Amino acid sequence: MDAFLSRTYSFNGGYDSQEGMLKLSALMEHIKVGLIKSQIIDVYNSPTSAGSEANRIFYQSVPQEALLDVAATLAISAQTQKG
């Protein structure tokens, strides 16, 4: 459980703008680079594919009426290209 929680992050960048989602994407890329450098990511990937995939789980704590807009903005701005 500690290993999982050490890789859990919270971000509040607003849910009503693409700018906030771009900041979220930049933060996630920064975290990914740090994980690759420390080889923590190898827990989930074989040595031959380390860094080639990234899986992200989004927990969205937003008002129900904003959910579709947030999901669409995440898809545009914070979705991985691989994984």
Region for residue 82 given its phi and psi (left: phi exceeds 0; alpha: psi -120 to 50; beta: otherwise): beta
DSSP states of 9-78: ------SS-HHHHHHHHHHHHHHHHHHHHHTGGGGTS-TTTTTT-----------GGGHHHHHHHHHHHT
pLDDT above 80 for 59: no
Encoded amino acid at 33, one letter? V
**At residue 31, does pLDDT exceed 60?**
yes
The pTM (predicted TM-score) of the whole model is 0.56
Structural domain boundaries of the chain? 15-77
